[in-house]
């Protein structure tokens, strides 16, 4: 670093973050100086949100260091974040939400300055926004909430915003409003502020960013001035540069009649493995949950259900944490062999030991608690739960999340053989590689299907292309 | 070690300890009478406790606050229908259970249709049950039929009949929870309702049947209690609100749901009665008894939460 | 969003006005200073207890011990505060601190508020029995005088209710602290992320609840001139009903102090109205339950309509 250069607001040196065996961030060195506008891009699981959370103080690094030029923490250094999931208090008004993050506002006359401050900030970023500072947030539209959140991040709040992290800030905004935001970000950086801009709209990233940083597998794989990148080069850097040959095993296969068709356009035939792809949070999980719920009941249960569900978010959707492995496997097949409403423990035990062997759950005894297993083996339990049933359709919500490679290989071959027997799989995966193993792939963007790929068209490039908005933002 | 790991052992241990402390005061005299009384009075707490346990097993936010009102209403209507006439005991039982069923259905419909939190739904409904009971009772104290009163206060093999009923119910609930498909569904729903639904569990059916069960149990407890104590009184259920929750918590059932403990409910029911009678025999005032009862419940909730935290 | 769901104050106001009109129609003589005083006689302690419950509901908990707590305060007021004012005052302050500690404990150990407050109801009730084993005691003269003062134009109960509504509105809706407290109910994570100690905020909300609970107990003694250990047990239900009637939500920090005071007045008036109807007192309690269910049904219908438009 030379003496003339302005001191970086934040400096990361070989910052690493491990969650158990998962290396979310694997040594990142990055310095953000006043005036920088960094476009941060990367595919799912590349480590974007981990990096953001390290910088804003949400988590601390496992190794390496983070230094701020002012004060010891992100708050006093003037680091602000706008999160992907909205973090306003819906029961408070716009001005009151500013108060939550503005500790200086006190005493009985606080409302007037709060209103003035949020109004000024909104006016500056989004002229003609039409948002009243005294409306409650839950009466605003999603786009308006997003605007408020951005305005609060840029508002002075007693100190000064110096580095603002925008994580998919335009996802809820229409093109005009997004353009206003981009213009403001440019002004802000020209005046000596810094911004980290994350977006799946590559056009926007090229438009706004002075530098682009590409993350992959927890590392920075490319970093350069924005004008040095082409879109194609960017997509290449995010994906596997050496495009592997897709196995076109499914091309010649023939499938049975169509068994799934949703109003959204999602379709599957008997014996087919259908992939759902695209960036995380673009409506894939919701589409699958909707499909499952519409074809099962909260009142009736059947010995032979129509659909079963394999959860990927094990804690939220899958594992029953107080139970043994055996009970976790058998919950969906309790009605098999039950008499007088009592569970047939033989059927249960047989299914558990059968699937323990077939899917390779690493445990001595299926009566051990399910939480004694590693994440990958817990995932196998959830596979076993679904496959042990007789359901013809299996819905899978990103089941390979945080699973080791061995388990993945086991699961892939299991899926293939089950599909060959006539089962239909709908498989949402955040990993493009996995989507490439499917017979047909639907790519989601902003809650709708942006592409349907079949046969030789299922390639990483095509999926990435359909996941990112390639047009110019404004 | 494995025995100590069973949550119910603590409730039974505490019951045994208080029993010994009380008997110690009289140097052994009256042990039989004390045990008999504990079994009789504990039975009512155990019956409502078993129902409350099922509801609490459904997970956070699930609790039935209408138990006292349902007990009173069921008892009042049953005794009124029987009118002290001989040979009407079964009619009375049927009415009490039907009242319980109706209350459970009302509670569940309020929860489902008005999307109310169970606390508010059962609270609001309980006010109406209470009024119905006051209206139908009119301050009269109708005696139960003699044969029924004899049954409720009688004994069989030296154990009070009401305790037999409570034990029978406990066995039934134990089988339902440990062996039946429904029990598995209930426990799965209590651990994680969303995961259970996604695993194909008919969660609404489970919730509905649980809220019906707790009210039917309350109806039965009210019927037995009124027969036992010679008539229905408007405040007869009052103490069973805290009691039903306390015996569940002390019995080792997790307040976070998904984990029930049938033997613990009985142990805790005996313990709660024995604590009160111990304080009585040491001459404690009514105020002190209440303070200690509340303090014990809170202490056990705290102990349970820190034990969970250490794991 | 339609007007009704946006201005949640409309429903409680309409309920009160309709009930008041019906009462005047049934009993025109009630339309006087004296009549109003009679109708709303017990409204002040109920309104204060409702404020206390509102503080707890505001942070997404529920307090089942409030009735016993108000009873305990009433017992202390009728004995210690009368005989040894300094000791009595110290006890009341200690009770407020105990409430704050209870809130901190519930938050820190992640305990279920229902079970803890239910247990505490026995503790408060036990202390109350300890202090006053049988009904008795007397109201301090100044308190009696304060509660029976006859202000010009409107009776004491009405003036006091307006005062309570204004003060709590300023405290909870207008003040900077109240805003953050409501934020805890709305989105705890975002409040914590902005650098606040949620533990302190929860303790503060519970402490405020204790403070208003103390005021409720004192006001009650001022009106009844004596106390007993069970004097206010039904306040637990009444206070929850008042908050809900007033447009408050069970979760999400959506509360309205003005609405809650109106809700408390409505409940008080409902009791008087039912007696005018010559409806037997048997149905008084049930009518409160029915009103609660009716209002919640009405609100559900309006919010559905609001969601459709």
What is the CATH classification number for the domain harbouring A221?
3.40.50.300
- A269 and A129, same structural domain? no
DSSP-based three-state secondary structure for B40: helix
Kindly state the average pLDDT of the residues A60-71.
84
Task: Report chain A residues whose CB lies below 8 A from the CB of C180.
Answer: 99-100
pLDDT exceeds cutoff 50 at A245: no
Which has the higher per-residue pLDDT, B58 or A430?
A: B58
User: Predicted confidence band at A86 (pLDDT cuts at 50, 70, 90)?
Assistant: low
Nearest CA in chain B to C244: B120
* E strand or H helix at C294: helix C284-308
- A358 and A336, same structural domain? yes
CB-CB under 8 Å, B188 with A331: yes
* Domain final residue pick, A238, A266, A293: A238
Residue A345 makes CB contacts below 8 A (sequence gap 6+) with: none
User: Predicted confidence band at C45 (pLDDT cuts at 50, 70, 90)?
Assistant: very high
| pTM, full prediction | 0.84
Task: Report chain A residues whose CB lies below 8 A from the CB of B60.
Answer: none
pLDDT exceeds cutoff 50 at B9: yes
Kindly state the average pLDDT of the residues A135-163.
87
To the nearest whole Å, the CA of B108 is away from the closest chain C CA by: 13
On average, the pLDDT of chain C sits at 88
What's the sign of the alpha-carbon dihedral C146, C150, C155, C160? negative
On average, the pLDDT of chain A sits at 83
8 Å CB contact between B265 and B53: yes
Task: Report chain C residues whose CB lies below 8 A from the CB of B114.
Answer: 293, 296-297, 300
User: Predicted confidence band at B105 (pLDDT cuts at 50, 70, 90)?
Assistant: very high
pLDDT in tens, B50-89: 999 999 999 888 999 999 999 999 999 999 888 888 888 8
pLDDT exceeds cutoff 70 at A70: yes
Which has the higher per-residue pLDDT, A177 or B45?
A: B45
CB-CB under 8 Å, C123 with B295: yes
- A300 and A198, same structural domain? no
To the nearest whole Å, the CA of C237 is away from the closest chain A CA by: 25
Q: How far apart are CA A17 and CA A23, in angstroms?
A: 6
Task: Report chain C residues whose CB lies below 8 A from the CB of B115.
Answer: 300
DSSP-based three-state secondary structure for A150: helix
Cβ–Cβ contact C122 with B under 8 A: yes
* Domain final residue pick, A215, A238, A261: A238
pLDDT exceeds cutoff 70 at B5: no
Nearest to C127 among B128, B287, B309 (CB): B287
To the nearest whole Å, the CA of A313 is away from the closest chain C CA by: 21
- A102 and A124, same structural domain? yes
Domains and CATH numbers, chain C: 39-302 (1.10.3470)
Any domain includes A444: yes
User: Among candidates C253, C260, C99, C43, which has minimal Cα distance to C167?
Assistant: C260
* Chain C touching partners, 3 or more CB pairs below 8 A: A, B
Nearest to B202 among A289, A297, A385 (CB): A297
pLDDT of B2: 56
- A249 and A204, same structural domain? no
Nearest to B123 among C110, C130, C240 (CB): C240
pLDDT in tens, A293-329: 988 888 888 888 889 999 888 888 889 999 999 999 9
CB-CB under 8 Å, A321 with B182: no
To the nearest whole Å, the CA of B299 is away from the closest chain C CA by: 9
pLDDT of A230: 81
Residue B113 makes CB contacts below 8 A (sequence gap 6+) with: none
Nearest CA in chain B to C116: B298
pLDDT of A474: 37
8 Å CB contact between C215 and C240: no
Q: What's the DSSP call for residue B1?
A: -
CB-CB under 8 Å, B124 with C130: no
- A251 and A231, same structural domain? no
CB-CB under 8 Å, B128 with C286: yes
pLDDT of A173: 79
- A369 and A333, same structural domain? yes
Cβ–Cβ contact C62 with B under 8 A: yes
- A262 and A210, same structural domain? no
Task: Report chain B residues whose CB lies below 8 A from the CB of C114.
Answer: 63, 119, 245
CB-CB under 8 Å, C185 with A92: no
8 Å CB contact between A468 and A201: yes
Give, to the nearest 10 degrees, the angle between helix C235-245 and helix C284-308: 30
Start-to-end Cα distance in chain C: 6
CB-CB under 8 Å, A91 with C182: yes
- A207 and A145, same structural domain? yes
Number of neighbouring beta carbons within 10 Å of residue A106? 12
8 Å CB contact between A172 and A143: yes
pLDDT exceeds cutoff 90 at B174: yes
* Domain final residue pick, A238, A260, A284: A238
Any domain includes A171: yes
To the nearest whole Å, the CA of C200 is away from the closest chain B CA by: 20
Kindly state the average pLDDT of the residues A444-448.
86
Q: How far apart are CA A424 and CA A291, in angstroms?
A: 13
Nearest CA in chain B to C241: B124
Any domain includes A5: no
CA torsion, ordered C111, C115, C118, C123, to nearest 10 deg: -60
Q: How far apart are CA C59 and CA C106, in angstroms?
A: 12
Which range among B196-200, B301-305, C203-207, C233-237 shows the weakest confidence by mean pLDDT?
Answer: B301-305
Any domain includes A353: yes
Q: How far apart are CA C91 and CA B262, in angstroms?
A: 42
Any domain includes A107: yes
Kindly state the average pLDDT of the residues A55-73.
83
Nearest CA in chain A to C254: A91
- A264 and A224, same structural domain? no
Task: Report chain A residues whose CB lies below 8 A from the CB of B184.
Answer: 327, 331, 334, 343
Residue A90 makes CB contacts below 8 A (sequence gap 6+) with: A136, A137, A138, C186, C187, C252
What's the sign of the alpha-carbon dihedral C161, C167, C168, C174? positive
CB-CB under 8 Å, C182 with A90: no
pLDDT of C2: 44
Any domain includes A473: no
Rg (CA), chain C: 19
User: Predicted confidence band at A247 (pLDDT cuts at 50, 70, 90)?
Assistant: very low
Cβ–Cβ contact C190 with A under 8 A: yes
8 Å CB contact between C292 and C246: no
To the nearest whole Å, the CA of C120 is away from the closest chain B CA by: 6
What is the complex's ipTM, to 2 decimals? 0.86
b or e along A122-141 (b: 16 or more beta carbons within 10 Å of the residue's beta carbon)?
beebbeebebebebbbbebe
Cβ–Cβ contact C301 with B under 8 A: no
pLDDT exceeds cutoff 60 at C173: yes
- A196 and A82, same structural domain? yes
Which has the higher per-residue pLDDT, A427 or A170?
A: A427
Task: Report chain A residues whose CB lies below 8 A from the CB of B258.
Answer: 320, 322
- A328 and A278, same structural domain? yes
pLDDT exceeds cutoff 70 at C52: yes
User: Predicted confidence band at A402 (pLDDT cuts at 50, 70, 90)?
Assistant: low
Any domain includes A2: no
pLDDT exceeds cutoff 90 at A161: no
pLDDT in tens, C280-309: 777 877 887 888 888 888 888 877 776 655
Nearest CA in chain A to B257: A322
Kindly state the average pLDDT of the residues A83-106.
84
If one counts the domains in chain A, the total is 2
Kindly state the average pLDDT of the residues A143-147.
87
Task: Report chain A residues whose CB lies below 8 A from the CB of C175.
Answer: 108
pLDDT of C1: 39
CB-CB under 8 Å, A320 with B192: yes
8 Å CB contact between A114 and A162: no
Nearest to C126 among B63, B123, B288 (CB): B288
DSSP-based three-state secondary structure for A136: strand
A interface residues, C as partner, C-beta within 8 Å: 58, 75, 87-92, 96-97, 99-101, 103, 105-108, 110-111, 139
pLDDT in tens, A33-57: 888 899 988 876 678 888 888 888 8
Nearest CA in chain B to A309: B198
Cβ–Cβ contact C194 with A under 8 A: yes
8 Å CB contact between C259 and C247: yes
pLDDT of B309: 47
Any domain includes A432: yes
Kindly state the average pLDDT of the residues B250-257.
83
Which range among A43-47, A118-122, A439-443 shows the weakest confidence by mean pLDDT?
Answer: A43-47
CB-CB under 8 Å, C119 with B134: no
To the nearest whole Å, the CA of B175 is away from the closest chain C CA by: 27
**Domain boundaries, position A39:** 10-238
To the nearest whole Å, the CA of A91 is away from the closest chain C CA by: 6
Task: Report chain A residues whose CB lies below 8 A from the CB of C181.
Answer: none
pLDDT of A5: 60
């Amino acid at each position: 670093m030379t003496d003339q250069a302005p001191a970086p607001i934040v400096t990361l040196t070989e910052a690493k973050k491990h969650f158990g065996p998962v290396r979310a961030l694997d040594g990142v060195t990055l310095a953000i100086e006043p005036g920088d506008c960094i476009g941060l891009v990367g595919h799912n699981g590349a480590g974007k949100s981990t990096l953001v959370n390290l910088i804003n103080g949400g988590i601390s690094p496992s190794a390496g260091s983070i230094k701020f030029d002012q004060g010891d923490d992100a708050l006093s250094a003037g680091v602000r974040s706008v999160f992907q999931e909205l973090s306003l208090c819906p029961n408070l008004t716009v001005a009151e939400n500013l108060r939550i993050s503005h500790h200086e506002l006190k005493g009985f006359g606080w409302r007037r300055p709060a209103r003035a401050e949020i109004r000024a900030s909104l006016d500056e970023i989004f002229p003609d926004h039409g948002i009243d500072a005294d409306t409650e947030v839950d009466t605003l539209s999603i786009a308006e909430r997003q605007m408020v959140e951005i305005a609060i991040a840029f508002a002075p709040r007693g100190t000064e915003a110096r580095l603002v992290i925008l994580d998919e800030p335009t996802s809820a905004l229409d093109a005009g409003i997004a353009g206003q935001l981009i213009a403001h970000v440019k002004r802000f950086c020209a005046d000596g502020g810094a911004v980290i801009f994350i977006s799946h709209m590559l056009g926007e990233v090229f438009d706004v960013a002075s530098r682009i940083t590409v993350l992959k597998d927890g590392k920075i794989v490319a970093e350069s001035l924005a004008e040095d990148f082409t879109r194609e080069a960017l997509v290449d850097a995010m994906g596997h540069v050496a495009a592997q040959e897709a196995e076109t095993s499914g091309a010649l296969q023939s499938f049975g009649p169509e068994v799934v068709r949703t109003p959204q356009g999602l379709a599957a035939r008997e014996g087919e493995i259908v992939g759902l792809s695209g960036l995380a949070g673009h409506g894939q999980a919701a589409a699958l949950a909707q499909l499952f719920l519409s074809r099962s009941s909260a009142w009736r249960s059947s010995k032979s259900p129509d659909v079963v569900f394999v959860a990927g978010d094990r804690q939220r959707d899958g594992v029953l944490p107080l139970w043994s492995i055996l009970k976790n496997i058998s919950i969906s097949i309790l009605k098999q062999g039950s008499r007088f409403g009592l569970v047939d423990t033989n059927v249960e035990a047989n299914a558990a030991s059968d699937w323990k062997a077939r899917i390779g759950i690493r445990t001595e005894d299926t009566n051990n608690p399910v939480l004694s297993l590693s994440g990958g083996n817990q995932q196998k339990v959830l596979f076993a739960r679904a496959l042990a049933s007789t359901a013809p359709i299996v819905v899978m919500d990103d089941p390979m999340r945080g699973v080791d490679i061995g388990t993945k290989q086991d699961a892939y071959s299991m899926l293939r053989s089950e599909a060959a027997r006539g089962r239909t799989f709908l498989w949402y995966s955040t990993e493009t590689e996995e989507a490439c193993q499917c017979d047909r792939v639907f790519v989601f963007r902003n809650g709708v299907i942006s592409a349907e790929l079949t046969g030789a068209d299922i390639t990483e490039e095509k999926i990435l292309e359909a996941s990112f908005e390639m047009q110019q933002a404004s | 070690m494995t025995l100590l790991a069973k949550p119910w052992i603590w409730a039974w241990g505490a019951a045994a300890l208080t029993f010994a402390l009380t008997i110690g005061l009289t140097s052994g005299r009256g042990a039989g009478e004390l045990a008999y009384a504990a079994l009789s009075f504990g039975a009512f707490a155990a019956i409502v406790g078993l129902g409350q346990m099922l509801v609490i097993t459904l997970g956070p936010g699930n609790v039935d606050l209408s138990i006292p009102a349902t007990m009173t209403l069921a008892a009042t209507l049953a005794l009124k229908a029987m009118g002290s006439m001989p040979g009407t005991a079964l009619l009375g039982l049927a009415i009490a259970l039907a009242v319980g069923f109706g209350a459970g259905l009302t509670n569940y419909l309020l929860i489902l249709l008005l999307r109310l939190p169970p606390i508010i739904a059962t609270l609001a409904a309980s006010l109406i049950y209470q009024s119905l009971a006051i209206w139908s009772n009119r301050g009269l104290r109708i005696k139960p039929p003699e044969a029924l009163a004899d049954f409720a206060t009688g004994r069989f093999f030296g154990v009070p009949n009401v305790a037999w009923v409570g034990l029978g119910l406990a066995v039934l609930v134990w089988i339902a929870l440990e062996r039946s498909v429904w029990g598995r569904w209930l426990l799965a729903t209590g651990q994680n309702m969303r995961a259970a639904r996604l695993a194909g569990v008919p969660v609404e059916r489970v919730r509905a049947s649980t809220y019906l069960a707790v009210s039917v149990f309350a109806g039965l407890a009210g019927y037995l209690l009124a027969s036992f104590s010679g008539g229905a009184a408007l405040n007869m259920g009052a103490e069973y609100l805290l009691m039903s929750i306390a015996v569940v918590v002390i019995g080792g059932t997790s307040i976070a749901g998904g984990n029930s403990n049938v033997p613990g409910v009985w142990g805790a029911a005996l313990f709660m009665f024995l604590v009160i009678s111990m304080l009585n025999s040491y001459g404690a005032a009514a105020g002190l008894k209440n303070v200690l009862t509340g303090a014990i419940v809170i202490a056990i909730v705290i102990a349970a939460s820190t034990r969970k935290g250490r794991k | 969003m339609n007007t009704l769901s946006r201005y949640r104050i409309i429903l409680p106001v309409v309920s009160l006005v309709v009930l008041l009109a019906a009462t005047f129609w049934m009993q025109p003589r009630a339309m006087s200073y004296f009549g109003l005083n009679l109708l709303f006689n017990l409204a002040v302690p109920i309104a204060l207890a409702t404020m206390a419950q509102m503080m707890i509901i505001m942070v997404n908990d529920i307090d089942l011990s409030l009735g016993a707590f108000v009873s305990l305060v009433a017992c202390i007021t009728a004995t210690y505060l009368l005989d040894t004012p300094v000791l009595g005052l110290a006890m009341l302050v200690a009770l407020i601190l105990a409430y704050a500690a209870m809130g901190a404990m519930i938050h820190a150990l992640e305990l279920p508020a229902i079970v803890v407050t239910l247990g505490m109801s026995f503790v408060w009730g036990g202390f109350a029995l300890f202090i006053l084993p049988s009904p008795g005691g007397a109201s301090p003269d100044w308190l009696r005088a304060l509660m029976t003062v006859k202000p010009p134009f409107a009776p004491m109960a009405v003036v006091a209710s307006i005062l309570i509504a204004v003060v709590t509105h300023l405290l909870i809706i207008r003040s900077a602290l109240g805003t953050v407290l409501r934020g805890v109910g709305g989105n705890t994570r975002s409040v914590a992320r902005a650098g606040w100690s949620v533990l302190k905020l929860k303790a503060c909300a519970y402490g405020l609840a204790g403070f208003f609970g103390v005021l409720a107990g004192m006001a009650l003694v001022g009106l009844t001139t004596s106390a007993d250990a069970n004097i206010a047990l039904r306040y637990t239900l009444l206070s929850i009903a008042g908050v809900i009637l007033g447009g408050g939500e069970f979760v999400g920090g959506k509360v309205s102090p003005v609405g809650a005071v109106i809700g408390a007045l409505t409940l008080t008036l409902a009791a008087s109205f039912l007696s005018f109807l010559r409806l037997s007192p048997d149905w008084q309690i049930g009518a409160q339950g029915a009103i609660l269910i009716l209002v919640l049904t009405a609100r559900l219908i309006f919010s559905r309509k609001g969601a459709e438009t």
